[in-house]
Amino acid sequence: MFSETTTLDAARSDIEPIADAPPVPDYMHEVYNWAYIEPRNVAKLDHNLVVRTLLFLNDRRMMRAYLDRIRPGMRVWQVAHVYGDLVRRAALKCGPSGHFQLTDITPIQVAHGESKLADLPWARVTRADARNFAVDGGKFDLICSFFLLHEVPDEWKHAIVDNMLRQLPEDGELFFVDYHKPASWQPVGWLLRVVNRWLEPFAESLWQREISSFASEPTRFSWEKRTIFGGVYQLVRVTRR
Ligand SMILES: C[S@@+](CC[C@H](N)C(=O)[O-])C[C@H]1O[C@@H](n2cnc3c(N)ncnc32)[C@H](O)[C@@H]1O
């Protein structure tokens, strides 16, 4: 069978992915081909400076909020690849006594993730759909979606949020970092309205709806949201009630 899992650590075989390699979804081809599939663009875009520019210099602050949650020895699942060095920094924080699982649905993004993590034997990269990725025999202490939800259609948002909640153990936490509705005084909001019409057709539902509203059973969980940069970004921590 064609395996799309890179097991960088045979010793951590207690955490076995059970999802089959998925097809690349239509929205990736139709909307995000230029950003995440076309190899020449991917090579140019996979840099911290690109992320810093796209996030109006808020990248470090939001990455720090995620990285600060990781302690040595933790088991962390990051549901999609992010350009720049975030995945490596997250894996380094887990350390050799922990486990870092990166998933992504696009082969070239998996390849970039693998090249960033190849020398860290406690890290694993799997081509998988965040809607149904699951592991056998192990649970994650922290599951993070860093700017994935705004890039997927709403029915995918539902399925991804539900799956992340399904994988959440009693004492674990989910962490979402994503767009949010800007305050009326925030001029960047007007720029983002244009960008959303042009390039990000699935983003504005995060302006209109809470991330919790994409969960089938939101009341079983506790949702703590904070926004930054005049409401442009939200950081949402989720734990079991
Ligand atoms: C995390 S999001 C946006 C990240 C951010 N804009 C950056 O700087 O990279 C982009 C990634 O999500 C991945 N992706 C899209 N849909 C996915 C899904 N259903 N499951 C897992 N990964 C997915 C894409 O392949 C892409 O690598």
Q: How far is CA 203 from the centre of its chain?
A: 15
**Concatenated DSSP letters of 49-112:** HHHHHHTTT-HHHHHHHHHTT--TT-EEEESS--SSSHHHHHHHHH-TTSEEEEEESSHHHHHH
**Residue 9 confidence (pLDDT):** 41
Domain of 231, CATH number, reads 3.40.50.150
**Residue 135 binned pLDDT confidence (cut-offs 50, 70, 90):** confident
**Residue 15 confidence (pLDDT):** 62
DSSP-H helix ranges across 153-237? 154-166, 188-199, 205-208
Reference 35, options 86, 103, 104, 117; nearest CA is 104
Residue 181 near residue 207, CB atoms below 8 Å: yes
pLDDT digits (tens, 9 = 90+) for 44-78: 999 999 999 999 999 999 999 999 999 999 999 99
- Cα(148) to centroid(ligand 1), Å: 5
Evaluate if residue 2 carries a pLDDT over 60: no
pLDDT digits (tens, 9 = 90+) for 24-48: 999 999 999 999 999 999 999 999 9
Evaluate if residue 3 carries a pLDDT over 80: no
Ligand 1 pocket, 232 CB below 6 A?
no
Ligand 1 pocket, 15 CB below 6 A?
no
Please indicate whether residue 137 or residue 68 has the higher confidence score (pLDDT).
Answer: 68
- Cα(80) to centroid(ligand 1), Å: 5
Mean pLDDT of all residues in the chain? Answer: 92
Share of the chain above pLDDT 90, in %: 89
- Cα(31) to centroid(ligand 1), Å: 12
Segment 132-138 shows an average pLDDT of 81
Ligand 1 pocket, 179 CB below 6 A?
no
The two three-digit tokens of residue 213, written as one number? 């509203």
Residue 123 near residue 8, CB atoms below 8 Å: yes
Segment 173-184 shows an average pLDDT of 98
Segment 160-166 shows an average pLDDT of 97
**Residue 195 confidence (pLDDT):** 96
Return d(Cα 73, Cα 139) in angstroms, integer: 13
Evaluate if residue 8 carries a pLDDT over 60: no
**Residue 17 confidence (pLDDT):** 63
- Cα(73) to centroid(ligand 1), Å: 26
Return d(Cα 209, Cα 235) in angstroms, integer: 14
Ligand 1 pocket, 163 CB below 6 A?
no
**Residue 214 confidence (pLDDT):** 98
- Cα(35) to centroid(ligand 1), Å: 10
**Residue 186 confidence (pLDDT):** 97
Return d(Cα 154, Cα 151) in angstroms, integer: 9
Return d(Cα 226, Cα 78) in angstroms, integer: 20
Segment 1-27 shows an average pLDDT of 59
**Residue 18 confidence (pLDDT):** 58
- Residue minimizing CA distance to atom 12 of ligand 1: 80
Domain span at residue 65? 5-240
- Write the CA distances from 68 to 33, 61, 75, 90, integer angstroms: 32, 10, 14, 9
Split into its structural domains, the chain has a count of: 1
Return d(Cα 186, Cα 231) in angstroms, integer: 8
